[in-house]
Amino acid sequence: RDTTSQKIYEKALRESERMLNATQMLAKVGGWEYHVEKKRTTWTDEVYRIYGLDRESYNPNNINENNSFYAPEDRKTVGRAFYSAVVKGEPYDLESGFVSAEGHHIWVRTTAKPVLENGKVTKVVGNIMDITERKRAEEMLLAERLKLERYFENIPLMAFNFSFNGRIVDCNTNAVNTLGYEDKEALLGKSAISTLYTPGSQKKGKQIFETWKKGKRIKNEELEVINRQGKVIDVLLNVDTVFDQDR
Q: 136 Cβ partners below 8 Å, 6+ apart?
A: none
| Percent of the chain topping pLDDT 70 | 86
Distance, in Å, from the CA atom of 30 to the CA atom of 110, rounded to the nearest integer, reads: 9
Distance, in Å, from the CA atom of 28 to the CA atom of 13, rounded to the nearest integer, reads: 22
For residue 3, pLDDT over 90 is answered with no
Confidence of residue 240 (pLDDT cuts 50, 70, 90): confident
Confidence of residue 20 (pLDDT cuts 50, 70, 90): very low
For residue 15, pLDDT over 50 is answered with yes
For residue 42, pLDDT over 90 is answered with yes
What is the overall mean pLDDT for the chain? Answer: 88
For residue 9, pLDDT over 80 is answered with no
How large is the average pLDDT for residues 79-95? 97
pLDDT value, residue 215: 82
pLDDT value, residue 245: 53
- Helical H segments across 89-122, by residue range: none
Distance, in Å, from the CA atom of 89 to the CA atom of 82, rounded to the nearest integer, reads: 10
How large is the average pLDDT for residues 73-91? 97
- The Cβ-side half-sphere exposure at 112, using a 13 Å CA radius, reads 27
pLDDT value, residue 241: 78
pTM over 0.75: no
Q: 95 Cβ partners below 8 Å, 6+ apart?
A: 107, 108, 109, 131, 135
pLDDT tens digits for range 184-222: 999 999 999 999 999 999 999 999 999 988 888 899 999
For residue 10, pLDDT over 80 is answered with no
pLDDT value, residue 214: 85
pLDDT tens digits for range 162-183: 998 899 999 999 999 999 999 9
- 30, 36, 41, 43: CA torsion to nearest 10: -20
pLDDT tens digits for range 91-137: 999 999 999 999 999 999 999 999 999 999 999 999 999 999 999 99
| Percent of the chain topping pLDDT 90 | 77
The DSSP element (H or E) to which 43 belongs, if any, is: strand 40-43
pLDDT value, residue 168: 95
